[in-house]
Amino acid sequence: MKRFAFVLLSLLTGCGGAAIFTAIGTQMANPLTIAVDSAAARAYVVNSNNKILFTGGSLHVVNIADPANPQRVGDPVALDSLSGQVVLDVPRQLAFIPNRLSENVEDKSDHVVRVDLATSVSTQLDADGDPFGAAAFAAQNRLLVATREGILNFYDVTAAAPAPGQVDLKRELSDGGTLSTVDAVDLVVVGTQAVISRASGGLLIVNLNELGSAGANPVDYFVSDLASPRGLATDGALVYVANVETDADGNAVPSLLVLNLANIPNDAANTTTTVRDKDDQGLLVATIGTGNNPQQVVVGTTEGFVSNMGDDTVTIFTLATRAKAADISVGDEPFGMAIYSPGGVDTHLLVCNSQANTVSIVNLASRTVVGTYQ
């Protein structure tokens, strides 16, 4: 990825410094992730420009008080291309966005953008190479960011200029092996544990009580038998994992796995990372069918949602029954999602269509697309 980014940046200017790609302006280009502040009726769309169609990416602030008629608020906030998850810190009016666009092929330090939502002023925080997955650990006022290079960065969000603490996720395993690569995809916090999905297979479970503890091994478990875990979500107790396995005939089998971490609690004494299977100790409690090529997951008060990039749908599942309820069609290659819940009632789902360059707004009562932001 680094070499690819370096070559693209080299091509941004031609002879005499003339720009090859135009500024992104207000245009949409691969919107990838989204967060919603329901109380303020605002959506925050990371316009990631992953295919480098323009110079830079952007953060769009959208008024969704009338979901069928979404309106941009002010000018987009400039970002680099290839930005990842967006995490809102509503009390402090901040947004945090990992960015993976390196300026140098040898550079292992990308960054996290911190945006002051009141002023639209952005600053950069140091991060290890290729950060994408991010989540808030509110109990300790921390932001967690996982990187493809295998580092979990953690930041004190109350600090004016927080430098990251770091946990190396590449660990010796209890079966005698070593986790030499991580390829972190997504990250979710459940109580005092972080779950990190790994592009090349498996989940890591991290003890957040041990962040910054000298001599501790915060990486408690490696759930090894998931072939291709992607997006993660939690309802506060269970973890929902978008995953794809391959059957005996070589066919892709997409699903949503529902995991209960209660039986693998924090281990303060471990020196190696314990290898587990998803069927151990009642970890896997349900499997739910999805559409083709599932990507991201969000959960609301009674229902959850999976974006299916392969067939341009969103799968709706019921939390109480852990069963699929419906598939709804959205735009081309849906990825990130967020739920709009005015007054605490889930009324609309917002879906980033990365290839269509739009955000579909789904009325959850009728399960139909009632608005589009573009």
Determine the pLDDT at residue 103: 56
Domain presence at residue 276: no
Domain presence at residue 77: yes
Task: State the average pLDDT over residues 86-115.
Answer: 86
Could you give the CA distance from residue 192 to residue 96 in angstroms, rounded to a whole number?
21
For the cut 90, the answer to whether the pLDDT of residue 101 exceeds it is: no
Domain presence at residue 92: yes
Under the banding of pLDDT at 50, 70 and 90, the label for residue 14 is very low
For the cut 90, the answer to whether the pLDDT of residue 199 exceeds it is: yes
pTM of the model: 0.93
Query: How many distinct structural domains can be found in the chain?
Result: 1
Q: What are phi and psi of 263, to 5 degrees?
A: -90, 0
Domain presence at residue 120: yes
Domain presence at residue 220: no
Domain presence at residue 5: yes
112 is in which domain, residue-wise? Answer: 1-129
Task: State the average pLDDT over residues 130-138.
Answer: 94
Domain presence at residue 48: yes
Domain presence at residue 335: no
Could you give the CA distance from residue 220 to residue 245 in angstroms, rounded to a whole number?
24
Task: State the average pLDDT over residues 242-270.
Answer: 95
Q: If 0-12 CB within 10 Å is exposed, 13-18 middle and 19+ buried, where does residue 229 land? A: buried
Determine the pLDDT at residue 9: 40
End-to-end CA, the chain = 28
Q: Range with the lowest mean pLDDT among 13-17, 239-243, 280-284?
A: 13-17
For the cut 60, the answer to whether the pLDDT of residue 160 exceeds it is: yes
pLDDT cut 90: percent of the chain above it: 87
